[in-house]
Amino acid sequence: MNISALQKVRYNYSPKLPECLSGSVEDIAVQTGALTEAISDREELRGIFKNTYGKPLVTFVKGKNDKIKRELKVGVILSGGQAPGGHNVIAGLFDGLKKGNDASTLYGFLGGPSGLTDNKTMVLTKEIIDEYRNTGGFDIIGSGRTKIETPQQFADSLETAKKLNLDAVVVIGGDDSNTNAALLAEYFLANGSSTQVIGCPKTIDGDLKNEHIETSFGFDTACKTYSELIGNLCRDTNSAKKYWHFIKLMGRAASHIALECAFQTQPNICLISEEVEANSTSLDKIVDQICKSIVHRASCGDNFGIVLIPEGLVEFIPEIKKLIEELNDTIAAEEQSFAAVSNYIDQLYWLSSRIPESSYRIMQTLPPEIGQQFLMDRDPHGNVQVSRIETEKLLVGMVEKKLSSLKEKKIYTGKFSYQTHFFGYEGRCAFPSNFDADYCYSLGYSAFVLIASGLTGYLSSVKNLTSVASEWIAGGVPLTMMMNLEQRHGSKKPVIKKALVELNGAPFKTFAKKRDTWSQKTCFVFPGAIQYFGPLEVCDMPTITLRLEHEK
Amino acid sequence: MNISALQKVRYNYSPKLPECLSGSVEDIAVQTGALTEAISDREELRGIFKNTYGKPLVTFVKGKNDKIKRELKVGVILSGGQAPGGHNVIAGLFDGLKKGNDASTLYGFLGGPSGLTDNKTMVLTKEIIDEYRNTGGFDIIGSGRTKIETPQQFADSLETAKKLNLDAVVVIGGDDSNTNAALLAEYFLANGSSTQVIGCPKTIDGDLKNEHIETSFGFDTACKTYSELIGNLCRDTNSAKKYWHFIKLMGRAASHIALECAFQTQPNICLISEEVEANSTSLDKIVDQICKSIVHRASCGDNFGIVLIPEGLVEFIPEIKKLIEELNDTIAAEEQSFAAVSNYIDQLYWLSSRIPESSYRIMQTLPPEIGQQFLMDRDPHGNVQVSRIETEKLLVGMVEKKLSSLKEKKIYTGKFSYQTHFFGYEGRCAFPSNFDADYCYSLGYSAFVLIASGLTGYLSSVKNLTSVASEWIAGGVPLTMMMNLEQRHGSKKPVIKKALVELNGAPFKTFAKKRDTWSQKTCFVFPGAIQYFGPLEVCDMPTITLRLEHEK
């Protein structure tokens, strides 16, 4: 195997641990806090989680722990999209297990949750783990998007747990996967199994967080990777002074990534989906907002700028959301008839008598190459593939049109040239930043302590993240504490509540104070590439979002 | 101004200099080598460059230099597209000038060569220079693409040189800009001016190099930035195992960037424009080559991979090159008639009676959204804007079609999902790698020594770049030595010859030996982000291309 110079030296990086975890494992005691409640729908959730509801918060402290040296058999799952640091969660879990008892075994379930239902595993040895320390990716055991939902899948999972004689399963995943972990913990207990289930908070989107989970892992590295690129484009356009760069950033539901990248780079415009939804901002209004900045800057001779766009934006613009729903319904109802229409003009005509006039008018205003994306590439359920819609090009097309009308009215006298970008996959598998490497290793190590202490239905938790790692506070949060009921496929389901950008939270409010200046002037910041060595202020700082949320 | 943590610490980086430049300026002597000749068309070039042709190579060595402490007035120009390190060339030039004589003045010409013709300047002070040390971008004085070509422009340049009483002009640019520098040097001498002209070899494309210029600056940083992203995508797809990523990389004429990124990341496919041209490979053959890898990998269960595509590829595919020329001619001839045709189907019909059948058939096989790009967005000269053609999507579209026919024949049984990317602007303004920071600073410092030594028509040269910086060899190469005559706009013009990928050179031959393995197996390498601190093998290594070309 050909390994890069960076990978070789990163193998030797020792992730930093909270002080309470850094000594002998026998000295890690579990301090139990108050019993907990779900965020809402408490009675229903108590009924669903008869055996696991409302457990206490736990914190690790210095003290005696008799149980921790037992021999354990644990299986670990990587679930869903990649996030930098996943390998370090596994390394921390492995090192903890082996420190506890060298005879303990860590199984990796292959290819995500289906590895558990299908009993596809590999034993993770020191040799294997050492090849993946402090590296990006989920390739050590692979990931997958299977959800454990059907009675058969739960039964199969139990079967695997029995066959392998598992003390615990660790699920490394986002909100959905950890909801699954909670259900699995309950199912095991309800069916007399002693296999515990522990979750770890993963997602670059940053939307799995709450009072006790300060951030999900991977958010730090992904945002820094995107910010490197955005900063480079800022510097490029500040040099060439001729392009507006429209940059779409990964993040379907929440705009945390766009917001963090805005703090890191200070672009002229950063759209926030949550604000668009809260204000029912129309597409036209968004285009106006962008054009206002372009026109003002052109009047100062600055025909260049940077626009950040969260990936999921179109789904939050009321009339586009409605259009997408109508297209899904209309085309599904007459699938064959629609399939027989081959070109875009005829498709528009086909739609004209089938969707409401307001929506038809929107279709007509869309640039044709984008309108086509609403109609082509439908997913297996017949729905519009929103992730394939090039929102950045949609906005550019509409901005161009608006600017030419402003030009006719002599309101705009500049020159508009553009480039579009989408940054997403580039950031999911970067080498984890020191922050993510440390945080993930600590999460994995904490997962071990939760298991060794006999707990189930907990999310591994490491807090106080804006302090130095030695001062971090490790423990566990009961999964049911983060849950509520939400409508899914026609019925109410228990789910972990997604953390969206809060419009009255410190990060958004800080952004809102600065954005008018940014939209008019050139305030770009150039963060550069993630550094793994060097001064601490360069290589060990957490995200600005985290600092704004937690620093006093 | 809000400055990133990295930028702050990079201000304190001291670029490494070759030993002969690192002591007192009075100890830098100029060693003169043999007289030189142009690479071809020698008689004609001797006629064009009556005063500057055939000067000797010069090398800086330890020794006495009487002239070096003169007070000098120098103007510097950033010309063309940005490349990481431009600010360090200026910093090296500035520091050299001030070490020679503190009363010396450095003017920056604003916005590229037009700053010289229009006499738009700023005086560069220590305070200004200090804000730009070791940073990316050309924003210190801006860049531009104006070419000094007309008699008026030459006269204006001379006028400015006289007004500012300039001892020298330094042109930081690529092959075209340095051809300009050579013409300017000759013009000044021919018109009795003592203003010298010195060039510095810039371009991320890496196509300004030869026996004496080992690499152009910016190539190192740009390739490492792209390789970071490609490596991240390699890791991502090796984890998710479900996408083929088609990645277009900047580089219109030469494929050096794609080749270097291939060495850094070992993708499944890397297309090389020079090879496509040499073999007259058709689009269909290229698609076949990609499909062969996809089909083979699918048969091993690997429905994922990485394809690298040089930006200029379409111009090297014979039938597409012909098609583009025919479209340019045909549409230019009947501009108004074509403009009256509004949709793609009608445009195709319009073309059907006007372009040869072979070309018309190619238009028909292009995916419509790509075919449209050949017809829309024409440049001011009425030509197809090749840089707007999404070659990555063109290839994906044709690969999809071919795979579905292979599926019908049961030759292909896999599942093809894809993502497309274009990496270009992201890499042009990154913080220069230590290599580029050192190399650029040395080039700027050498430019000062060339000026102080009274030389004109030279390109600043720093060689032996695969050794440690102290062993680098600094000097100057006569610009006429790198020239030949080429057909430009209907007449023969003196130009610096572009260095394309040599199919019998060490880099391409090394690649050719490995690519079959890469196309079938997963051999990805993950270089990670550029590091500015840490072990030397991580933060100070030059490109693999350079090592293959020069290491014994």
Contact (CB, 8 A) for B140 and B90? yes
- Inter-chain touch A5–B236, beta carbons under 8 Å: no
Angle between helices A219-240 and B219-240 (to 10 degrees): 150
- Percentages helix, strand, coil for chain B, rounded to the nearest 5? 45, 15, 35
Contacts of B245 in chain A (CB under 8 A): 425
Q: Which residues pair with B270 in a beta bridge?
A: B308
Contact (CB, 8 A) for B483 and B45? yes
The set of long-range contacts for A289-293, using a CB threshold of 8 Å and a minimum separation of 24, is A290/A395, A290/A399, A291/A399, A291/A402, A291/A403, A291/A406, A291/A412, A292/A519, A293/A268, A293/A269, A293/A519, A293/A520
Contacts of A204 in chain B (CB under 8 A): none
Q: What angle do CA A457, A461, A465 make, to 5 degrees?
A: 165
Q: Which residues pair with B436 in a beta bridge?
A: none
3-state secondary structure of A240: helix
What pLDDT does B377 receive? 64
In Å, how far is A533's CA from the nearest CA of chain B? 5
DSSP character string of A183-236: HHHHHHHHTT---EEEEEEB-TT--S--SS----BTHHHHHHHHHHHHHHHHHH
In Å, how far is B235's CA from the nearest CA of chain A? 6
Which residue out of A146, A236, A400, A547 would a mutagenesis test of the B interface target, given it has the greatest number of B Cβ atoms within 10 Å? A236
Contact (CB, 8 A) for B232 and A426? yes
Longest dimension (CA), chain B: 80
Contacts of B431 in chain A (CB under 8 A): 526, 528-529
Q: What angle do CA B333, B338, B341 make, to 5 degrees?
A: 170
In Å, how far is A141's CA from the nearest CA of chain B? 8
Query: Of all residues in chain A, what percent carry a pLDDT higher than 70?
Result: 99
Which residue out of B133, B236, B260 would a mutagenesis test of the A interface target, given it has the greatest number of A Cβ atoms within 10 Å? B236
CA A84 – CA B465 distance, rounded (Å): 35
Q: Residues A211-233: pLDDT tens digits?
A: 899 999 999 999 999 999 999 99
3-state secondary structure of A354: coil
The answer to whether residue A383 scores a pLDDT higher than 90 is no
Which residue out of A228, A239, A376 would a mutagenesis test of the B interface target, given it has the greatest number of B Cβ atoms within 10 Å? A239
- Inter-chain touch A236–B4, beta carbons under 8 Å: no
Contacts of B2 in chain A (CB under 8 A): 266, 523, 525
Kindly name the residue from A95, A167, A175, A205 that is annotated as catalytic.
A205
- Inter-chain touch B541–A5, beta carbons under 8 Å: yes
Q: Is the dihedral of CA A43, A49, A50, A54 positive or negative?
A: negative
- Inter-chain touch B139–A527, beta carbons under 8 Å: no
3-state secondary structure of B208: coil
CA B331 – CA B350 distance, rounded (Å): 10
Residue A462's pLDDT band, with cuts at 50, 70 and 90, is very high
- Please enumerate in sequence order all residues whose Cβ is within 8 A of that of B119, keeping only pairs 6 or more positions apart, or say none: B156, B159, B160, B163, B164
Phi, psi angle pair for B526, to nearest 5°:
-115, 95
User: Could you say which of B6, B142, B531 has the minimum Cβ distance to residue A239?
Assistant: B142
Q: Residues A414-451: pLDDT tens digits?
A: 999 999 999 999 999 999 999 999 999 999 999 999 99
Counting DSSP H helices and E strands in chain B, the numbers are 22, 15
- Inter-chain touch A6–B372, beta carbons under 8 Å: no
Distance, first Cα to last Cα, chain A? 47
User: Could you say which of A4, A421, A525 has the minimum Cβ distance to residue B527?
Assistant: A4
User: Could you say which of B238, B523, B530 has the minimum Cβ distance to residue A529?
Assistant: B530
What pLDDT does A552 receive? 65
User: Could you say which of A6, A229, A419 has the minimum Cβ distance to residue B527?
Assistant: A6
- Inter-chain touch A137–B235, beta carbons under 8 Å: yes
CA A18 – CA B64 distance, rounded (Å): 61
The answer to whether residue A535 scores a pLDDT higher than 70 is yes
3-state secondary structure of A57: strand
User: For residue A217, which of A112, A311, A80 has the smallest C-alpha distance?
Assistant: A80
Kindly name the residue from B175, B205, B207, B438 that is annotated as catalytic.
B205
Burial A294-324 (b: 16+ CB within 10 A, else e): bbbbbeeebbbbbbbbbbbbbbbbeebeebb
- Inter-chain touch A82–B229, beta carbons under 8 Å: no
- Inter-chain touch A232–B5, beta carbons under 8 Å: no
The answer to whether residue A413 scores a pLDDT higher than 90 is yes
CA A158 – CA A156 distance, rounded (Å): 5
Contacts of A231 in chain B (CB under 8 A): 4
Contact (CB, 8 A) for A439 and A462? yes
CA A138 – CA B210 distance, rounded (Å): 43
Q: Is the dihedral of CA A313, A318, A319, A322 positive or negative?
A: positive
Contacts of A245 in chain B (CB under 8 A): 425
- Inter-chain touch B143–A240, beta carbons under 8 Å: yes
User: For residue B539, which of A228, A540, A531, A226 has the smallest C-alpha distance?
Assistant: A531
Q: Which residues pair with A79 in a beta bridge?
A: A144
Q: Residues A514-528: pLDDT tens digits?
A: 999 999 999 999 999
What pLDDT does B342 receive? 81
Report the chain B residue with the minimal C-alpha distance to residue A141: B239
CA B313 – CA B389 distance, rounded (Å): 10
Look at A134-148, A172-186, B332-346 and tell me which has the smallest mean pLDDT: B332-346
- Inter-chain touch A428–B9, beta carbons under 8 Å: no
Ranges of H-type helices in B101-135: 114-117, 126-130
What pLDDT does A377 receive? 64
Which residue out of A265, A538, A544 would a mutagenesis test of the B interface target, given it has the greatest number of B Cβ atoms within 10 Å? A538
- Inter-chain touch B430–A5, beta carbons under 8 Å: no
Predicted TM-score (pTM) of the model is 0.97
What pLDDT does B65 receive? 87
User: For residue A56, which of A444, A445, A453, A486 has the smallest C-alpha distance?
Assistant: A453
Other Cβ atoms less than 10 A from the Cβ of A341: the count is 15
CA A439 – CA A21 distance, rounded (Å): 12
User: For residue A20, which of A62, A58, A56, A57 has the smallest C-alpha distance?
Assistant: A62
C-alpha distances (whole Å) from A72 to each of A64, A67, A200, A478 are 19, 11, 19, 22
Distance, first Cα to last Cα, chain B? 47
Q: Is B139 a catalytic residue?
A: no
Q: How would you list the strands of the sheet with A196-201, edge to edge?
A: A28-35, A56-62, A473-478, A458-463, A196-201, A168-173, A73-78, A105-109, A121-123
What pLDDT does A380 receive? 67
Ranges of H-type helices in A300-421: 318-333, 335-339, 344-352, 357-365, 368-375, 391-408
CA B316 – CA B206 distance, rounded (Å): 18
Phi, psi angle pair for A149, to nearest 5°:
-130, -40
In Å, how far is B1's CA from the nearest CA of chain A? 7
User: Could you say which of A243, A345, A532 has the minimum Cβ distance to residue B534?
Assistant: A532
Phi, psi angle pair for B306, to nearest 5°:
-130, 130
3-state secondary structure of A36: coil
CA B310 – CA B273 distance, rounded (Å): 7
In Å, how far is A432's CA from the nearest CA of chain B? 10
What pLDDT does B171 receive? 98
- Please enumerate in sequence order all residues whose Cβ is within 8 A of that of B478, keeping only pairs 6 or more positions apart, or say none: B36, B52, B54, B55, B56, B57, B457, B458, B459
What letter would DSSP give residue B202? B
Contact (CB, 8 A) for B202 and B208? yes
Tokens matching residue A254: 């929440």
Contact (CB, 8 A) for A119 and A163? yes
Instruction: Look up the ipTM and state it.
Output: 0.97
What letter would DSSP give residue A316? G
Q: Residues A73-130: pLDDT tens digits?
A: 999 999 999 999 999 999 999 999 999 999 999 999 999 999 999 999 999 999 999 9
Which residue out of B131, B239, B349, B392 would a mutagenesis test of the A interface target, given it has the greatest number of A Cβ atoms within 10 Å? B239
- Please enumerate in sequence order all residues whose Cβ is within 8 A of that of B458, keeping only pairs 6 or more positions apart, or say none: B55, B58, B198, B199, B450, B476, B477, B478, B479
Contacts of A10 in chain B (CB under 8 A): 528
In Å, how far is A520's CA from the nearest CA of chain B? 15
Q: Which amino acid is at B317?
A: I
Burial A217-227 (b: 16+ CB within 10 A, else e): bbbbbbbbbbb
B137: left (phi over 0), alpha (psi -120 to 50) or beta: left
What pLDDT does B1 receive? 64
- Inter-chain touch A9–B538, beta carbons under 8 Å: yes
User: Could you say which of B4, B241, B429 has the minimum Cβ distance to residue A142?
Assistant: B241
- Inter-chain touch A528–B6, beta carbons under 8 Å: yes
Angle between helices A434-452 and A86-100 (to 10 degrees): 40
Contacts of A228 in chain B (CB under 8 A): 430, 529
Alpha carbon B172 to its chain centroid, in Å, reads 12
> What kind and span of H or E run contains B9?
helix B5-10
Other Cβ atoms less than 10 A from the Cβ of B416: the count is 20
Q: How would you list the strands of the sheet with A418-423, edge to edge?
A: A269-270, A305-310, A244-249, A418-423
CA B320 – CA B314 distance, rounded (Å): 6
> What kind and span of H or E run contains B49?
none
Residues of chain B with pLDDT under 70: 1, 377-378, 380-381, 552
What pLDDT does A388 receive? 84
Report the chain A residue with the minimal C-alpha distance to residue B427: A232
